[in-house]
Chain A
Amino acid sequence: MKAIVFVKEVAETPDGVSVTSDGQLSSGEGGAFLTDPIDPYSIETALQLKDKSGGEVIAITAGEPRAEKILKEALAMGADEAFLVHDEAASGSDPYATARLLAGAAKKSGDYDIIVVGERAADDNSYAIGPALGQHLDIPVLTYVNEVREFDPENKKIRVVRSIDGGSQVVEATLPAVITVVKGIHEPRYPSLMGIRKASKREVPVWSIADIGEEAERVGPSGSPTRMRSFDPPPPPSGCEMIEGTPEEVAEQLVGKIMDKKIL
């Protein structure tokens, strides 16, 4: 069994983040970066599939060289291999250009049974990677997975529970498939000290866009279909309207305002 987990580095806070003239997020240099908080859940999901079925877990990210750090965290948790897709031409990729890079990396890493990613990234919140991978690789995608009920790489079948609007949906798909996971699917394990020590000594191979069969104009800003025009803190609230009176009067007024504004 081979599982690929795609992880992502995100800025710890949006404070140092800006938008380039190409409309892509730029994290600057100074800020602190961490693994997207959803990623440990993806890694844990893949590790549990490996615990049951044997095989290997491969962690991949597309990003800057410093993102090696988050791959080492994946290795420390128990991933077997890690690869970094990095290329000058790919820097400043939107989620859709990134999905091309990741699809290329998946193809390069050979026959996989499953790809696990987070439902969305904490910085751009784009909900894009999973469905886009499904299209590029022409395999089924199961989004918002909160439980893997059955995973049978022998017979190329997976059964999951998706958490969607209003309830849960039980879905079956053929393997290979992409799943996107929600927090709460499993409690992520902590890396062991031994794991951390071993991971720190590992070399992380770097793949260029040529290595994964991509071309410069299809990735980076030129290959990015979505462009931010602005990126600002939300406007401050317009000031608080105090409501006064007896509890009944207050309730009457407030409920009236809320119903009038069609908030409900």
Chain B
Amino acid sequence: MAQSIWVIGQRGKSGISRATREILGKANGLAGGDSSAVTGVYCGASADGVADEMAQSGAGSVITMTDPRLETYTADFYVSAISHLAGDRKPDVILIAATADGRELAAALATSFGGGAVQDCTELEWDGDTLLGTRACFGGNRTAVVENCSPGAKVFSVRPNSFPVPDAGGGGVSAEEVAPVLPEGDPRVKVLEFIPDAGGTINLLDADVIVSGGRGLGKAEGFKVIQDLADVLGGAVGASRAVVDSGWIAYPHQVGQTGKTVKPKLYIALGISGAIQHLAGMRTADTIVAVNKDENAPIFNVAHYGIVGDLFEIAPALTAKFREVLQG
């Protein structure tokens, strides 16, 4: 019999988050397409539309637990609700999107079962009956394949963007509503306020896209073309040490051995030669694009796509094309 897999649903800007849908799709794949093995579990103040959305992404059944105290995630309430439910239903595997809250929930939930979570997986695969998670260690310099030997449910958190969003299909599942078991008394943690990030100030470490500039920019003003490209991609601006040392941009933007180690989905390096110390900070990016006028620049050794040319011609063309494609 297929192992039962739970996917903990998180809300995004509209409906179930993209990361949750990716994981539902993956869970369905892990169940060999047998969606009856995949259950979406959702906690919230209300669960309107949740069952359909989760079913469309691959859940064969959906359990919802609603209570005003579950409106915003807090470990205390979510761990209580989910661990009680898991104690009753005994799922084999629990998958959670590795957002900040998701990683906290994964570790706390797994500990409450007497085990541990395998965090931040970018791949999940069976070895016989054992689910293995692949994850980065040492800032991306090592890849570990990890087995979860916890008693009871095995919890894995999964990095957003690791799997494709499944095509919507199916649906028509009606949720089973379960009354959550929550701690009594005054909550120990109260969420008071959420302040969304202003656009453009995206953290380099969490950015999905980083556009970096090096000495090839010629002068501080050269960063304009980098910023324009980053803006259209909703990305962050990175830099080599040479330009930080020259005072063209502030140190928090520096990528490399003595700067930040980043792992965006897309890293675009313009006018950066690719010194080993720079590579140390970005070589594990999922996709690397290099633009350099020197065809022998070492950056091309780690790039997936290379363009030999003048960045002041290439960058604006890329910006225009991305704008056309992304913003219609």
The interface of chain A, by Cβ under 8 A from chain B, is 13-14, 17, 19, 23, 94-96, 99, 122-128, 130-132, 134-136, 139-144, 159, 162-174, 177, 224-235, 237-238, 240-244, 247-248, 250-252, 254-255, 257-259, 261-264
Please determine whether B325 and A259 come into contact, CB atoms closer than 8 angstroms.
yes
- Measured between beta carbons, the chain A residues less than 8 angstroms from B304 are 237-238, 240-241
Chain B residue numbers with a CB within 8 Å of A164 are: 99-101
Contact across chains for B286 and A225 when beta carbons are under 8 A apart: no
Q: Which residue of A has the minimal Cβ distance to B132?
A: A229
Which A residues are CB-close (under 8 A) to B135? 125
Given A14-B142, A173-B189: A258 touches B99 (CB 8 Å cut-off): no
> Are B145 and A229 neighbours in the complex by a CB distance under 8 Å?
yes
Do B314 and A135 have beta carbons less than 8 Å apart? no
Which positions 280-328 of chain B face chain A at CB distance < 8 Å?
283-284, 286-290, 300-309, 313-314, 316-318, 320-322, 325-326
Expressed in whole angstroms, the Cα–Cα distance for A239 and B197 within the complex equals: 36
Partner of A243, one of B100, B105, B307: B307
Cβ of A251: which chain B residues have Cβ within 8 Å of it? 314, 317-318, 320-321
Known interface pairs A240-B306, A255-B322; A168-B194 also in contact (CB < 8 Å): yes
Q: Which of these, B137, B150, B194, contacts A225 with CB under 8 Å?
A: B150
B213 on the interface (CB 8 Å rule)?
Answer: no
C-alpha spacing A248/B313, complex, angstroms? 9
CB distance from A8 to the nearest CB of B (A): 13
Give the complex CA separation of A171 and B306 in angstroms. Answer: 45
Residue of A95, A131, A177, A232 with highest tally of chain B CB at under 10 A: A131
**Interface residues of A: mostly helix, strand, loop or mixed?**
mixed
Query: Could you list 11 further interchain pairs (A-B, Cβ under 8 angstroms) beyond the known A13-B138, A17-B138, A162-B100?
Result: A126-B107, A132-B108, A168-B195, A173-B188, A230-B143, A233-B142, A234-B142, A235-B143, A237-B288, A242-B307, A257-B305
Q: Which residue of A lies closest to B260 (CB)?
A: A183
Task: Verify A226–B75 contact, CB threshold 8 A.
Answer: no
Whether B145 pairs with A228 at a CB distance below 8 angstroms is yes
Query: Could you tell me the distance in whole angstroms from the C-beta of B271 to the nearest C-beta in chain A?
Result: 15
Does B287 contact A229, Cβ atoms closer than 8 Å? no
Q: A162: which B residues are within 8 A, CB to CB? A: 100
Within B219-239, the residues touching A (CB, 8 Å) are: 233
- Interchain CB contact (< 8 A) of B146 among A159, A173, A227, A244: A227
Closest 4 pairs between A and B when the two form their complex, measured CB to CB: A96-B116, A131-B107, A225-B116, A247-B317
Asked if A258 meets B287 with Cβ closer than 8 Å, knowing A95-B116, A263-B266, the reply is yes
Residues on A with C-beta less than 8 A from B143 are 230-235
In the assembled complex, how far is the CB of residue B283 from the closest CB belonging to chain A, in whole angstroms? Answer: 8
Q: Could you tell me the distance between the alpha carbons of A255 and B145 in the complex, rounded to whole angstroms?
A: 33
Q: Are A226 and B116 in contact (CB under 8 A)?
A: yes
B147 at the interface (CB under 8 A from A): yes
Q: Do A126 and B119 touch across chains, with their CB atoms under 8 A apart?
A: yes
* Interface 0/1 of B119-130, CB less than 8 Å to A: 110000001000
Per-position binary interface string of chain B over residues 187-202, scored 1 when its CB falls under 8 Å from any chain A CB and 0 otherwise: 0111111111100000
Tell yes or no: B139 within 8 A of A by CB: yes
Indicate if the CB atoms of B145 and A230 lie closer than 8 Å: yes
Q: Are A250 and B118 in contact (CB under 8 A)?
A: no
Q: Assess whether A264 is in contact with B136, with CB atoms less than 8 Å apart.
A: no
A247 touches B112 (CB 8 A): no
Question: Given A128-B119, A225-B116, A242-B308, A141 and B104 touching (CB < 8 A)?
Answer: yes
Question: Given A167-B197, A258-B266, do A134 and B75 touch, yes or no (CB 8 Å)?
Answer: yes
User: How far apart are the CA atoms of A232 and B140 in the complex, in Å?
Assistant: 10
Is there contact, CB below 8 Å, between B190 and A96? no
Q: By the criterion CB–CB under 8 Å, are B305 and A254 in contact? A: yes
Q: A171-B192, A173-B190 are in contact. Are A237 and B108 (CB under 8 A)?
A: no
CB pair B140 A234 closer than 8 Å: yes
Residue B144 interfacial (CB < 8 Å):
yes
A6 to B42 alpha-carbon distance, docked (Å):
34
